[in-house]
Structure 1
Amino acid sequence: MLISKIDYLNLLPFYVFVKKEIQSTQQKSIINYKKSYPSKINQDFKYKRTDAAFISSIKSKNCKCTDVGIIAKDAVWSVLVLVNEPNKIDNESNTSNILADILGIQGKVAIGDKALKIYYKNQDEFLDLAQIWYEKYGLSFVFARFCYNKHKKYFEKIAKRFGASKIKIPQYILKNEAQKTSLTPKQILQYLEQIKYNIGIKEKKSLKLFFRKIDEKKFSK
């Protein structure tokens, strides 16, 4: 079984959990090997080059998905639009580019750990797309869902167990991620407080609204 890995800090708790959950050394090495960014993983999933992955919300509509995802509590800090920059999409993203368009935000889209570093440096004028969505609709924005191509029972079980778990990130992993990202362990933990993973009634309502806004945008063009 192949699980693709988005190599961003927002999924650090999930991969800490998976490494404990999956005992096979071979499977663990596969997870680490299949690292990429969201838009590339979306393609791999579409063409069934991977069995399971966190799929961008915009690409997950017709997929077999669990009730686990990447959700902003309100602001997310890692999906920004730099408003003083010329309009430019982030090639690593699918959902965030569309979200900026739906919200009518002009500028350069930045996602992931590079956006988080911009947030903490606070040297650029930016808008947090999840925060704007939350302020406008009173709903947490769902950026991705954990979906699968096969092995339904196995991945549904993984998702359910993860959703019910409280994950503590080991200090050695925090230090390693801090070194990789040039952030501090404290900043990483602060950021992870902004992320939740269980998709409940309100999160499903938010997804439906997002899909409707996409359809309205297409219709208006």
Structure 2
Amino acid sequence: MIKVGKVSYLNTLPMFYNLSNYEIIEGHPSELFKMLEEDKIDIGILSSAVYLKDKDKYAYLDGISISGKEMVCSVLLFLKEDYIKNVYLTKDSVTSRVLTRWYVEEILKLKPNYVDDEEKADTILYIGDKAIKEYSSKTYKSVVDLGEEWFKRYGVGFVFALFTYKKNSVKSFDKLKEDVIDSINFFYEKLKNNSLEDEIFKKYAFVDTNFFRKYFLECLDLGLREDHKRSLEIFEGFVKRFGLT
């Protein structure tokens, strides 16, 4: 049975909504990268920067990603003050860390300190469910949607994660790709028909129904098209510049 790494965030729900006959192992993107390296999973939703840093070693399932449309709504930079001097970068996603450095250093032309203690930071990167929860707290001076900033600059959605596997794997993932796409389509059909199970909303009770719909219909793009691949090509330059921060 193929071992599939699943990111433990709301954004992966459609991919796994109707997926069976696979061993599903959960973790955040950085944990899944370690699991793939140690052959504890065969394939997983990994930060796009991992693939871009070592394309000779890794491949991905074409047609599937976790990307933003314009906004992404769950990769957010929270500012406690009107300035950016001390920045805390979550350790959960290398892609989001590189993207933050792109925004702060390339776009804003700043050279902040990067700190390991978020209590000492005036600017904090959160991703996934944590970012969504923090945004609703309304306790920050301002919040920057990093996916939206990327779109403003380049006119393409940012690709945060890919279904990544090692090129030397002897396993075929063709059926998995088909099943994941079917699961995504089934989820969106039920979402648009207002026929998702109540248990789904209970499980993700930290978001209300309106945001749930907005998130999947207006923020996330789970496909992978030519414009996404152009976005990856642009981001590859910053991965090379900043490394796996």
TM-score band by shorter chain is 0.7 to 0.9
| Pair 1:118–1:177, CA change in 2 (3 A) | same
Matched, 1:128 2:145: yes
Gaps of 5+ in 1: none
- The structural deviation recorded for 1:88 is 0.8
AA at the equivalent of 1:91: K
- Shift in Å at residue 92 of structure 1? 1.1
1:168 partner letter: K
Query: Which amino acid is 1:64 matched to?
Result: A
Distance 1:47-1:88 versus aligned 2 partners, 3 A rule = same
Q: Look up the SS of the partner of 1:205 in the other structure.
A: helix
Q: In the alignment, which of 155, 171, 190 is matched to residue 168 of structure 1? A: 190
Q: Distance in 2 between matches of 1:206 and 1:54?
A: 18
- Report which stretch shifted further, 133-142 or 102-111: 102-111
> 2:67 corresponds to which letter in structure 1?
I
Compared CA separation, residues 90 and 202, structure 1 to 2 (3 A): same
Give structure 1 regions of 4+ aligned residues with deviation exceeding 6 angstroms. Answer: none
Q: Whole-Å Cα distance in 1 between the matches of residues 124 and 101 of structure 2?
A: 11
CA contact (8 A) 2:76 2:143 kept: yes
The corresponding residue for 1:143 is 160
> RMSD over aligned Cα, in angstroms?
2.1
Measure how far apart 1:159 and its partner are.
4.3
Q: Is residue 2:136 matched to residue 1:110? A: no
Query: CA 1:84–1:187 in 2, change beyond 3 Å: closer, same or farther?
Result: same
Could you tell me the TM-score, scaled by structure 1's length? 0.84
Q: Are the counterparts in 2 of residues 77 and 119 from structure 1 also a CA contact under 8 Å?
A: no
More off after superposition, 198-207 vs 186-195: 186-195
TM superposition shift of 1:82: 1.3
Query: In the alignment, what sits opposite 2:99?
Result: 99
* Greater RCO, CA 8 A, separation 6+: 2
Q: Amino acid of the residue matched to residue 49 of structure 1?
A: K
Task: After TM superposition, give the deviation of residue 146 of structure 1 in Å.
Answer: 1.1
Q: Look up the match of 2:213.
A: 189
1:39-68 CA-partner distances (Å, limit 9, x unpaired) = 101111122210121110001232220120
Does the CA-based 8 Å contact 1:66-1:159 persist in structure 2? no
Partner of 2:203: 177
Aligned residues: 206
8 Å CA contact 2:15–2:181 kept in 1: the answer is no
Larger Rg: 2
Instruction: Classify 1:167/1:48 alpha carbon distance in 2 versus 1 (closer, same or farther; 3 Å).
Output: farther
User: What is the CA-CA distance between 1:189 and the residue it aligns to?
Assistant: 2.1
Q: Which has the higher strand share?
A: 2
Q: Who is 1:38 aligned against?
A: 29
1:17–1:167 contact (8 Å) kept in structure 2? no
- Any idea what SS the aligned residue of 1:199 has? coil
- In structure 2, the gaps of 5 or more residues are 106-111, 113-122
Amino acid paired to 1:203: H
Letter in 1 for 2:199: I
Aligned partner of 2:9 in structure 1 is 8
- Superposed, 1:23-62 pairs within 5 Å as 24=21, 27=22, 30-31=23-24, 34-61=25-52, 62=55
Q: 1:56 to 1:94 in 2, by over 3 A?
A: same
Distance across 2 between alignment mates of 1:134 and 1:58: 18
